[in-house]
């Protein structure tokens, strides 16, 4: 039974070769799934060798030279050529492989791999992946051949290319192939001799504190010139000279020799709010980095020295695209605690503040979208929980409030009432109008925040 199947296989291979010359790779690849741990070229050679022996045995029986032996010799298979000659036959002219045109070839693989290796030498990486580009006409010829001979044991031609090139690169750098998240992807086209090196981004996570107001998280373009530079912005094109993104990204760009960077914050604070406590989580994405093995304490030092007094970063570690996805989808913030220093238009009594503490405890606040964000957000009514307000008189008209709310509650409006759009409000309750509100987030609790624990501090919306 099994030997019959084997004969069937050899007959089929012979049938194919009689019609189409195939190189060792392209023949072996049609029967790839029938044996493991060998390259398709080895499989192709094994089949060609077995057929050559069969032709030799037939010649002993019949004295005739089999056409199959000529067909195999025509593929350039040396043992067939020699055997044919030994039997007194004339070696036929070599024909190129019907599928690949002879491109799948050890020396060609080596030549491209050497060029790839030379360029990869400029990069730091600890794993890689090789991909292959295959012209459509090559695929079409292979598909047609498989349909014609009913082949269902074949493998994709890409596998031959990636396996061969990958093996050479792997041996040279002594690093593993990584299928899920390779740091470097080499895309080769052995048919054109071209290749492309894709360097995947590097991710660094950490926390930032913002020590000074008027630093936006990402650069703001000047509202007059939109970045072109004008008199109003002193030809910087920016509304503010610094941004958290630039203060962290620029030094990182140099250290990692990257082409560009993208800053991702876990939410953002108002430009005029500071970030204290443990800071706000962020992930910095560095694109096309040449260096990957940089000591992160170096980056921390560089940023903190360079941005002293403006921002401060801490707890840096290497991250991943997966963690970035988590950061971006962070569950809604559970609660925020604010400190608000408020100056009113008139005196506020200790007693009134006591009443505020009593009245504004575990209540639901109803807010129409604040007028100041109406341009960005839909006008709707939100109901948010207010956990507590603590009030401490700092002067006749000045009060320090500590306010803990459910995430998403607009605190400025809770204080000033937003012309009746937030109810209840502290201003309405006190019968006073706030002249100045200075807001800082002192604590944020988020459910399911990755790694660093669940309490982080950040700032105001």
Least spacing, CB of residue 100 vs Zn ion, in Å: 3
Q: Which of 105, 156, 242, 270 is catalytic?
A: 270
Which residue of 151, 175, 177, 230 would you call a contact of Zn ion, by CB under 5 A?
Answer: 230
Q: According to DSSP H, which parts of 346-457 are helical?
A: 350-359, 411-416, 426-430
Q: Using the structure block, give the residue that is written with the tokens 């170096």.
A: 298
From the list 10-18, 34-42, 81-89, 219-227, the region that binds Zn ion by CB under 5 A is: 219-227
The answer to whether 426 contacts Zn ion (rule: CB under 5 A) is no
Strand residues in 345-459 grouped as ranges (E): 363-368, 381-393, 398-406, 422-423, 434-445, 455-456
Member of 17, 120, 233, 353 binding Zn ion (CB under 5 A): 233
Identify which of residues 102 and 424 has a Cβ nearer to Zn ion in the complex.
Answer: 102
Give the residue, chosen from 94, 224, 272, 295, that forms a contact with Zn ion under the rule CB under 5 A: 224
Q: Is 270 considered catalytic here?
A: yes
CB of 213 to Zn ion, least distance (A): 21
Binding residue (CB under 5 A) for Zn ion from 16, 51, 84, 100: 100
Q: At what angle do helices 40-62 and 2-19 cross, to 10 degrees?
A: 90
Question: What is the footprint of Zn ion within residues 436-455 (CB under 5 A)?
Answer: none
Residues 270-309, interacting with Zn ion (CB under 5 A): none
Q: Indicate the residue among 227 and 424 with the shorter CB distance to Zn ion.
A: 227
The number of C-alpha atoms within 13 Å of 295 and in the hemisphere containing its C-beta is 4
Is residue 256 within 8 A of residue 286, CB to CB? The reply is: yes
d(CA 66, CA 59): 7
Q: 30: closest CA among 177, 135, 143, 123? A: 143
Closest CA to 385 of 403, 370, 372: 403
Please pick, from the candidates 145, 222, 303, 365, the single residue that binds Zn ion as defined by CB under 5 A. Answer: 222
Applying CB under 5 A, the span of 103-111, 190-198, 275-283, 284-292 interacting with Zn ion comes to 103-111
Residue placing its CB nearer to Zn ion in the complex, 74 or 100: 100
DSSP string, 264-298: EESS---TT--EEEEEEEEEEEEES-S-----HHH
In 3D space, the residue among 106, 93, 6, 105 whose CA is nearest the CA of residue 47 turns out to be 6
Q: Among residues 23, 73, 188, 275, which is the contact residue for Zn ion, using CB under 5 A?
A: 23
Among 16, 17, 26, 439, binds Zn ion (CB under 5 A): 26
The span of 88-96, 171-179, 225-233, 409-417 binding Zn ion (CB under 5 A) equals: 225-233
- Residue 386 engages Zn ion in binding (rule: CB under 5 A): no
Stretch that binds Zn ion, among 31-39, 142-150, 183-191, 231-239 (CB under 5 A): 231-239
List C-alpha distances in Å: 140 to 2, 18, 53, 131, 154.
32, 20, 32, 19, 14
Residue 138 in contact with Zn ion, rule: CB under 5 A? no
Interface ranges with Zn ion (CB under 5 A):
23, 26, 97, 99-100, 104, 222, 224-225, 230, 232-233
Active site residues: 270
């Amino acid at each position: 039974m099994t030997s019959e199947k084997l004969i069937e296989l050899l007959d089929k291979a012979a049938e194919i070769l009689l019609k189409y010359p195939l190189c060792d790779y392209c023949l072996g690849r049609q029967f790839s799934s029938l044996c493991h741990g060998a390259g398709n070229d080895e499989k192709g050679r094994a089949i060609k060798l077995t057929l050559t022996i069969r032709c030799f045995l037939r010649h002993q029986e019949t004295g005739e030279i089999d056409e199959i032996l000529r067909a195999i010799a025509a593929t350039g298979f040396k043992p067939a050529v020699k055997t044919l000659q030994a039997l007194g036959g004339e070696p036929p002219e070599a024909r190129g492989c019907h599928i690949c045109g002879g491109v799948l070839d050890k020396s060609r693989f080596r030549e491209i791999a050497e060029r790839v290796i030379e360029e990869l030498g400029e990069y730091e990486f600890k794993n890689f992946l090789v991909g292959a580009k295959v012209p459509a006409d090559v695929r079409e010829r292979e598909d047609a051949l498989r349909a014609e001979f009913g082949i269902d044991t074949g493998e994709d031609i890409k596998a031959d290319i990636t396996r061969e090139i990958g093996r050479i690169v792997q041996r040279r750098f002594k690093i593993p192939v990584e299928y899920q998240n390779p740091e470097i992807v080499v895309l080769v086209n052995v048919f054109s001799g071209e290749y492309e090196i894709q360097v995947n981004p590097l991710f660094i996570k950490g926390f930032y504190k913002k020590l000074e107001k008027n630093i936006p998280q990402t650069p703001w373009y000047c509202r007059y010139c939109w970045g072109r530079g004008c008199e109003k912005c002193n030809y910087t094109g920016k509304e503010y000279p610094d941004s958290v993104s630039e203060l962290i990204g620029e030094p990182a760009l140099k250290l990692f020799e990257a082409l560009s960077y993208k800053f991702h914050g876990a939410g953002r604070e108002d430009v005029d709010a500071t970030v204290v406590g443990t800071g706000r989580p962020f992930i910095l994405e560095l694109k096309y980095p040449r260096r990957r093995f940089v000591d992160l304490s170096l980056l921390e030092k560089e940023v903190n020295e360079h941005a002293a007094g403006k921002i401060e970063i801490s707890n840096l570690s290497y991250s991943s695209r997966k963690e970035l996805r988590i950061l971006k989808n962070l569950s809604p913030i559970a609660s925020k605690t604010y400190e608000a220093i408020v100056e009113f238009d008139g005196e506020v009594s200790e007693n009134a503040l006591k009443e505020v503490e009593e009245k504004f405890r575990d209540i639901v606040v109803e807010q129409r979208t604040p007028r100041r964000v109406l341009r960005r957000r839909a006008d709707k009514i939100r109901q948010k929980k207010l956990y507590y307000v603590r009030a401490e008189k700092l002067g006749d008209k000045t009060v320090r409030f500590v306010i803990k709310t459910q995430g998403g509650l607009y605190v400025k409006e809770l204080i000033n009432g937003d012309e009746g759009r937030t109810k209840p409000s502290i201003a309405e309750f006190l019968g006073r109008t706030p002249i100045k509100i200075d807001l800082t987030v002192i604590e944020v609790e988020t459910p399911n925040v990755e790694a660093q624990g669940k309490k982080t501090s950040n700032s105001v919306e």
